[in-house]
Amino acid sequence: MTLKIVVTVALLAAFPIVAQAQQKPPAPAANMPKPTAADIQKLVQTISADKAKVKTYCDIGGLQDQMDQAEKKKDTKTLQALGAKVDELTKQLGPDYEKVMGGLDQVDPNSAEGKKFTAMFEPLFKQCK
């Protein structure tokens, strides 16, 4: 389940970039480096230390559920609106969040590294329950 959440969060971070790519030249996410364990640890600590950021992080997860429903219904208008909300929330979490989430696209969630990264996000997942 947590693996699905990490993948979802990574996709959430990438969705606004994809939406912007339709309006602008290629998005910078394609050039984002794969995050290190230190990058993820720092991000988790930064978000965990700020109640407002924890709420924002959890709100992004809630929007993902809505995006999943819209995707099943093939409701692109709703998907775009939700993507815009996610984009705004992503900005509130800062550039480190965008960098890590953009870079997670390069990590296979089923690999040992992917599983390690998933486990590192567990403290944040627990705060969203």
How is the chain split into domains, by residue range? 2-23+42-127
The yes-or-no verdict on residue 23 having pLDDT over 90 is no
Q: Which amino acid is at 78?
A: T
Q: Rounded CA gap, 1 and 97, in Å?
A: 21
Write a three-state SS string for 7-48: HHHHHHHHHHHHHHHCCCCCCHHHHCCCCCHHHHHHHHHHHH
pLDDT in tens, 43-81: 999 999 999 999 999 999 999 889 999 999 999 999 999
Half-sphere exposure of 98 (CA within 13 A, CB side): 18
Amino acid at site 54: V
The pTM of the full predicted model, rounded to 2 decimals, is 0.74
pLDDT confidence band for 4 (50 / 70 / 90) = low
Task: Say what the pLDDT of residue 30 is.
Answer: 57
pLDDT of residue 76: 93
Which residues have C-beta within 8 Å of that of residue 43, sequence separation ≥ 6? 96, 97, 100
Predicted local distance difference test score (pLDDT) of residue 9: 52
Residue 15, pLDDT > 60, answer: no
Q: What pLDDT was estimated at residue 11?
A: 46
